[in-house]
């Protein structure tokens, strides 16, 4: 015999002032909630990996300057190049390395950027290598 035998056979109480709650509403009472709004996003942002920006060597800088001069000479031909460059992260230290392949429209010397025919722009200070496509 159990200590609840006297109430096991009874139905749930019904109140005329309060209609029975739907199953959906009853389930919502026990659903989890975010006590700290934005906490999950903050953790995900902290865990997100970024690359450290590496310093360019003197040899690489010399090669890059030669390629930029060659690019200036060939601008009228809209040369096809592949540029390896660094994109700084807007939220935290570091960033990521990207590769852009396309035809160069111009070099904006005032803003120090390479402008591609499709409108993309890459800062020369973020550029690591330029490879001409044949």
Hey, where are the domains in the chain? 12-134
Task: Provide the pLDDT for residue 112.
Answer: 94
H or E segment to which residue 47 belongs: helix 39-47
Q: What is the pLDDT of residues 86-131, one digit of tens each?
A: 999 888 888 999 999 999 999 999 999 999 999 999 999 999 999 9
Q: Using the predicted structure, report yes or no on whether residue 31 has a pLDDT greater than 80.
A: no
Query: Which CATH architecture describes the domain 12-134?
Result: Roll (2.30)
Query: Residue 104, SS3?
Result: strand
Query: Residue 53, SS3?
Result: coil
């Amino acid at each position: 015999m159990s200590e609840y035998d006297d109430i096991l056979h009874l139905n749930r109480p019904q109140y005329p002032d309060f209609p029975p709650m739907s199953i959906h509403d009853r389930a919502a009472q026990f659903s989890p909630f975010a006590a700290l709004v934005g906490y999950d996003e903050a953790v995900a942002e902290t865990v997100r990996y970024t690359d450290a920006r590496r310093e360019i060597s003197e040899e690489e800088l010399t090669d890059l300057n030669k390629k930029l001069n060659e690019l200036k000479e060939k601008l009228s031909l809209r040369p096809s190049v592949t540029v390896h460059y660094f994109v700084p992260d807007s939220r935290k230290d570091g960033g990521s390395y990207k590769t852009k392949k396309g035809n160069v429209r111009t070099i904006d010397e005032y803003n120090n950027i390479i402008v591609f025919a499709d409108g993309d722009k890459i800062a020369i200070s973020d550029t690591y290598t330029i490879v001409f496509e044949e």
